[in-house]
């Protein structure tokens, strides 16, 4: 009996000690939650050992249809910093989670909320916001992460946001940011050279998320599979899109986390090549960092153009 | 002179020798210096080019930022000067059905035009309201204030709202996966858990989601007409609630959510029990979801079930007897494509006064989501009714439902 009591007390003490140690170890690091894997990658690059970073999404999701999982709530509840893409990219799921996360310091507008869209030259800001135009984003196209030059601004915003909250670590964040930007700049120069064969290539996209990517690398968008953003195509729309693709000699059909049914149907009718690209980083070892993700998209597209 | 003449060639020769010896060295020194200069210039040129490229890039970014800032400034000015600048988010849901009930006949049922309004109040609270017009009139379904920055993981809510009882009781009917409120929910809970009162939520600091709610209300249930909540009364005649809710990710794509609720009224004065015995309403809810992360637009499967139990005193010939009425519903819905979903609802609804008598409902349904904001649904129901209280609650029934959403419309976390 005595032995049992002693054993139980020992286990309890060890558990308490471990818990204490665990929380002390955790307390040393800044808890950063990001909405996408590329933001997590940048957060890690800039915060290094000062931060503990986790992304809510895995990188395979369609950002407008991420499930509102209650398992995200404790993560948001304990976060010191939330890094989000902004421009309403997370509108369909993040505000619902924030409702119950009981963490006022990471609410929009608060110091702990880092909005990476600050300073981005936003494309496709609608002149009038009306749902007859589909699921429009009143603040403009939020898929700016696909332009690597936006990546520089995203990284800068993360460093600024971390320094705003932890000014004592500013020199470290700045040093890490500069190292990351140097690496990114080298990659950008490489991508610009790599993307030369893409100049003027005519593409059709499933959704509107490829505008920034197309602009940066000189691709020419000639049509969209969705009738309007978020609205599946009708048979008439597909017929007119097929005709347009034939007239314009569209070479490539790009889709992301959508079904390949319509892209393949269009490809069989027009001879264009179908390619699936990633609209956010993550999802596989080939795209688990921002640089690898842009690299993967470019390489996949180049291979598709070559094939076409 | 002769000596000097003699010496001349020697001097000239020496000079020649010295110069010949020195010039290559000089030339050599000059060429190495030149090389160094050349490499320095080349290096500088490279650095200059690099700096120019960087300036170019920065200029581009600056121009784009300035252009954007210009746009933003303009729009900010426009927003600031608009009289509606501080208006809350407003939206409306319209829900109508065409129905045929074998025992009651047909109806164009204008079910609801629900106006939703929400905004932050200040750094400490937000508020929302749902005001619904239907063929029965206009009603404030919800109008509540919610804290946003209470310490210790607490959140308080007060006003009129759907109390945190079970799962489906907190849905506005147009948000269901099927057409009608399950009869079990309607009879036992009173439809939506509408209540005037106050609630306190606590989020446990656990690595998984665990949330508790306690609340006190005048009464519970939108259709609960047995109690009048417009008069002051003893605190023992209020309803008090406790709920515990948790959630687990089974895999990346599968999850399970479980909740248990208890609503206790110490003394309830209803026509069946004017002396006021206690009423205990219990509920257990379970939701299983299959949401393949990579294809949530096209695939998904949800099973939702709730069991309810109502315990209250009912007058019999032999005197007052405590009766326990159990009931519940279960449904499954599969997302077939981005636009189409189909499912089946089973409903088991007892009579509160005679729990032995039940209405059992079977309802297959098919939903066509034209877009995120526009939905058509067809449902067939067969109700095997042994309760015999309402003609509309028995036999074959057909529904065609059209639901649309205008503007900003969200019921947030509870309706996920």
Residue B354 has a pLDDT of 85
Smallest CA–CA distance, residue A3 to chain B, in Å, is 31
Chain B interface, best mutation among A33, A57, A67, by max B CB count within 10 A: A67
Nearest CA in chain A to B300: A67
* Whether the model pTM is above 0.90: no
A107 to chain B, any CB pair closer than 8 A? The answer is yes
Nearest CA in chain B to A75: B207
For residue A259, list chain B residues with Cβ-Cβ distance below 8 A: 295, 297-298, 338
A260 to chain B, any CB pair closer than 8 A? The answer is no
Nearest CA in chain A to B290: A67
B157 to chain A, any CB pair closer than 8 A? The answer is no
CATH number of A25-191: 3.40.50.1980
Residue B30 has a pLDDT of 55
Extents of the domains making up chain A? 25-191, 195-307
Secondary structure (3-state) at A213: helix
The answer to whether the CB atoms of B296 and A65 lie below 8 A apart is yes
The answer to whether the CB atoms of A102 and B153 lie below 8 A apart is yes
* A 169-228: CB under 8 A from B: none
Residue B349 has a pLDDT of 95
Kindly list the averaged pLDDT for each block of 10 residues, start to end, along chain B of length 416: 48 54 50 70 70 61 51 54 75 95 91 93 92 92 94 96 96 94 94 94 95 95 79 88 96 95 89 78 96 90 96 79 92 95 97 89 96 94 89 91 86 75
**Interface predicted TM-score (ipTM) over 0.85:** no
Nearest CA in chain B to A64: B297
The answer to whether the CB atoms of B252 and A230 lie below 8 A apart is no
* B 48-107: CB under 8 A from A: 57, 61, 64-65, 67-68, 71
The answer to whether the CB atoms of B148 and A107 lie below 8 A apart is yes
Stretch A173-190: mean pLDDT: 94
The answer to whether the CB atoms of A71 and B413 lie below 8 A apart is no
| DSSP output for A97-165 | HHHHH--GGGSTTSTTEEETTTT-------SS--GGG-S--TT----GGGSHHHHHHHHHHHHHHHHHH
The answer to whether the CB atoms of A152 and B61 lie below 8 A apart is yes
Question: Nearest CB to A61: which of B249, B296, B372?
Answer: B296
CATH for B89-415 (1.20.120.10, 2.40.160.10, 1.10.760.10, 1.10.10.10)? 2.40.160.10
Which fold does the domain A195-307 belong to in CATH? Rossmann fold (3.40.50)
For residue A100, list chain B residues with Cβ-Cβ distance below 8 A: 155, 201, 203, 211, 413
| A305: pLDDT strictly greater than 80 | yes
pLDDT in tens, A41-88: 999 999 999 999 999 999 999 888 899 999 999 999 999 999 999 999
**Contacts across the A-B interface (CB distance below 8 Å):** 99
Alpha-carbon gap, residue B354 to A111, rounded angstroms: 59
Whole-number percent of chain A with pLDDT over 90: 73
Alpha-carbon gap, residue B158 to B217, rounded angstroms: 10
Chain A interface, best mutation among B59, B293, B375, by max A CB count within 10 A: B293
Distant-in-sequence contacts of A94-99, Cβ < 8 A, 24+ apart: A94/A35, A95/B410, A95/B412, A96/A68, A96/B410, A96/B412, A96/B413, A96/B416, A97/A68, A97/A72, A97/A73, A97/B413, A99/B412, A99/B413
The answer to whether the CB atoms of A95 and B61 lie below 8 A apart is no
For residue A94, list chain B residues with Cβ-Cβ distance below 8 A: none
pLDDT in tens, A129-145: 777 777 777 888 999 99
Residue A7 has a pLDDT of 55
User: Higher confidence at residue A20 or residue A97?
Assistant: A97
The answer to whether the CB atoms of B371 and A100 lie below 8 A apart is no
* B 330-349: CB under 8 A from A: 338-339
Question: Nearest CB to A69: which of B68, B149, B249?
Answer: B249
Q: Where are the alpha helices (DSSP H) in chain A?
A: 2-28, 37-47, 72-78, 94-101, 148-165, 170-194, 211-217, 235-248, 261-270, 290-307
The pLDDT confidence band at residue A22, using thresholds 50, 70 and 90, is very low
Alpha-carbon gap, residue B191 to A146, rounded angstroms: 47
Nearest CA in chain A to B413: A96
Considering chain A, what is the average pLDDT of its residues? 88
Which residue in B366, B372, B295 sits closest to B334, CA to CA? B366
A102 to chain B, any CB pair closer than 8 A? The answer is yes
* A 2-41: CB under 8 A from B: none
Extents of the domains making up chain B? 1-84, 89-415
């Amino acid at each position: 009996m005595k032995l049992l009591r002693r054993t139980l007390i020992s286990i309890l003490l060890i558990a308490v000690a471990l818990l204490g140690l665990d929380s002390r170890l955790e307390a040393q690091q800044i808890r950063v939650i990001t909405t996408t894997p590329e933001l997590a990658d940048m957060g890690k690059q800039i915060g290094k050992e000062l931060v503990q970073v986790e992304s809510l999404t895995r990188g395979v999701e369609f950002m407008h249809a991420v499930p509102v999982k209650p398992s995200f709530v404790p993560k948001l509840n304990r976060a010191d910093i939330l890094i989000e893409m902004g421009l309403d990219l997370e509108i369909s799921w993040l505000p619902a989670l924030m409702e119950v996360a009981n963490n006022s310091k990471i609410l929009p507008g608060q110091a702990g909320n880092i909005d990476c869209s600050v300073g981005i030259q936003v494309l496709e800001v609608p002149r009038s916001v009306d749902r007859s135009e589909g699921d429009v984003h009143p603040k403009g196209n939020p898929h700016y992460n696909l332009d690597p030059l936006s990546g520089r601004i995203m990284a800068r915003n993360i460093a600024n946001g971390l320094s705003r909250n932890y000014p004592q670590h500013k020199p470290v964040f700045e040093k890490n940011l500069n190292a990351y930007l140097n690496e990114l700049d080298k990659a950008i120069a490489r991508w610009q050279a790599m993307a030369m064969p893409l100049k003027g290539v005519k593409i059709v996209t499933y959704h509107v998320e490829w505008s920034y990517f197309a602009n940066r690398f000189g691709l020419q968008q000639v049509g969209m599979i969705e009738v309007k953003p978020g609205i599946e195509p009708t048979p008439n729309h597909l017929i007119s899109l097929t005709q347009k693709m034939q007239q314009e000699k569209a070479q490539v059909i790009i889709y992301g986390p959508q079904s390949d049914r319509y892209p393949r149907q269009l490809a069989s009718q027009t001879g264009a090549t179908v390619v699936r690209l990633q609209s956010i980083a993550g999802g596989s070892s080939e795209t688990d960092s921002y640089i690898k993700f842009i690299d993967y998209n470019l390489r996949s597209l180049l291979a598709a153009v070559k094939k076409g | 002179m002769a000596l000097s003449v003699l010496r001349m060639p020697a001097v000239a020769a020496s000079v020649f020798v010295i110069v010949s010896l020195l010039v290559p060295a000089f030339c050599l020194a000059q060429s190495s210096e030149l090389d160094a200069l050349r490499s320095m210039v080349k290096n500088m040129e490279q650095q200059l080019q690099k700096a120019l490229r960087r300036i170019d890039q920065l200029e581009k970014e600056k121009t784009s930022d300035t252009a954007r800032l210009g746009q933003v400034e303009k729009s900010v000015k426009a927003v600031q000067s608009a009289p509606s600048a501080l208006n809350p988010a407003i939206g409306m849901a319209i829900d109508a059905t065409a129905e045929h009930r074998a025992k009651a006949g047909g109806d164009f049922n204008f079910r609801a035009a629900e106006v939703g309004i929400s905004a932050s109040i200040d750094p400490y609270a937000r508020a929302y309201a749902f005001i619904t017009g239907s063929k029965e009139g206009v009603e404030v379904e919800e109008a509540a204030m919610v804290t946003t920055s209470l310490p210790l993981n607490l959140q308080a809510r007060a006003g009129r709202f759907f109390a945190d009882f079970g799962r489906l009781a907190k849905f506005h009917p147009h948000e269901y996966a099927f057409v009608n409120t399950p009869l079990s929910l309607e009879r036992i809970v009173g439809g939506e858990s509408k209540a005037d009162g106050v609630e306190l939520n606590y989020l446990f600091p656990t690595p998984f989601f665990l949330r508790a709610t306690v609340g006190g209300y005048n009464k519970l249930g939108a259709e609960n007409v047995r109690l009048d909540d417009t008069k002051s009364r003893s605190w023992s005649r209020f309803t008090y609630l406790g709920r515990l809710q948790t959630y687990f990710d089974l895999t990346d794509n599968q999850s399970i959510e479980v909740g248990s609720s208890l609503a206790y009224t110490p003394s309830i004065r209803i026509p069946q029990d004017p002396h006021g015995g206690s009423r205990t309403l219990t509920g257990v809810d379970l939701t299983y979801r299959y949401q393949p992360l990579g294809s949530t637009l096209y695939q998904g499967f949800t099973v939702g079930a709730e069991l309810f139990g109502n315990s209250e005193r009912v007058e019999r010939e032999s005197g007052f007897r405590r009766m326990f009425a159990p009931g519940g519903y279960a449904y499954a819905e599969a997302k077939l494509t981005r636009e189409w979903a189909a499912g089946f609802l089973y409903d088991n609804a007892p009579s509160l006064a005679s729990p032995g008598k039940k209405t059992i409902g079977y309802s297959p349904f098919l939903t066509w989501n034209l877009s995120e904001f526009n939905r058509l649904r067809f449902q067939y129901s067969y109700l095997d009714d042994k309760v015999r209280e309402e003609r509309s609650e028995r036999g074959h029934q057909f529904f065609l439902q059209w639901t649309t959403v205008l503007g900003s419309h969200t019921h947030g976390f509870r309706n996920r």
